[in-house]
Amino acid sequence: MGQGHGWEGVVLKLFRGRDFTFTVTGAEQVTEHYRRVRLADGGLLAAAGVHPTMWVRLWFENAGKPHQRAYTLVDPDPAAGTFSLEFALHDGAASDWARTCAPGDTIEATLQGTGFTAPEPRPGRMLVIGDPASMPAINSLLDSAPDVPATLWFETSHDADEELPLRVDADRHDVRRVPRQGGGAALVEQVRKELPELLGDDPYVWIACDTATTRTLATYVRKELALPKDRIHSLGYWRAT
């Protein structure tokens, strides 16, 4: 890392970010708007281990300047030194790279700030709010607690989003798909209407949508529903433009 990644790279280095180079081994077009890229890890998993919702920052070139975005590891295999990354495709340097990368291509990455603390005591139900951008983390979260029932509000922007591979079990997971309207307003309205009735199961609330929607819902759960901070996780995954 260093000067090649600009001031963002310097800041990450100060926070003890560790650098790795990943190599593309294949790719799969999951839907028209969603792509999975398979990678060799460049020693990452052996060095850092694996935990639920683990993520890395990838470095792309955008108009001649370094640009970083964070992505959750999908199906990391420490023994093989491989994992996949999934991209909700739109306009931008990261999506452009995902569309065109081929086996043998490499990309630089930084591991920094990716810790995950499982909720204790174990929740009676997880209340999960996300969208295609956070789907890899949602799947990782659900995989990490296979015996905990969950209600999932999943915001969709395209008809093809109905086909995305959420790792849900009909016996344990209640999935409520919400078409994106009003810049996230429809999702906020539905969650506010439906979530309070589910608070009797000692819940853990996990929110990862666009930044504005995430902030609105996290404030609602914390202030209006008075859930303790240690029973709420929220992280804005992208900014609406």
Q: How far apart are CA 164 and CA 135, in angstroms?
A: 9
Interior angle at CA 65, CA 63 and CA 70, nearest 5? 105
Given this model, what pLDDT does residue 141 score? 92
pLDDT at 12 over 70: no
CATH architecture of 125-234: 3-Layer(aba) Sandwich (3.40)
Q: Do residues 2 and 9 lie in contact, with contact meaning Cβ atoms separated by under 8 Å?
A: yes
H or E segment and range at residue 205: strand 203-208
Given this model, what pLDDT does residue 2 score? 39
Tell me the mean pLDDT in the region 92-99. Answer: 94
Contacts 24+ apart (CB under 8 A), 221-228: 221/195, 225/195, 225/196, 225/199, 227/199, 227/203
Tell me the mean pLDDT in the region 3-26. Answer: 64
How confident is the model over 106-126, as pLDDT tens digits? 999 998 766 667 788 889 999
How confident is the model over 199-236, as pLDDT tens digits? 987 899 999 999 999 999 999 999 999 999 999 999 88
Q: Do residues 225 and 200 lie in contact, with contact meaning Cβ atoms separated by under 8 Å?
A: no
Given this model, what pLDDT does residue 10 score? 39
- Tokens matching residue 226: 């008075």
CA 44: distance to chain centroid? 18
Q: How far apart are CA 130 and CA 155, in angstroms?
A: 6
- Measured in degrees and rounded to the nearest 5, phi and psi for residue 81 equal 70, 40
At residue 106, the 3 state secondary structure works out as strand
Q: Domain spans of the chain?
A: 3-111, 125-234
Topology (CATH) of 3-111: Elongation Factor Tu (Ef-tu); domain 3 (2.40.30)
Strand order in the sheet with 74-77: 65-72, 55-62, 106-111, 18-31, 34-40, 82-88, 74-77
* Averaged confidence pLDDT in the chain: 89
| pTM: predicted TM-score of the whole model, two decimal places | 0.83
Higher pLDDT, 238 or 13: 238
CA 134: distance to chain centroid? 3
pLDDT at 5 over 60: no
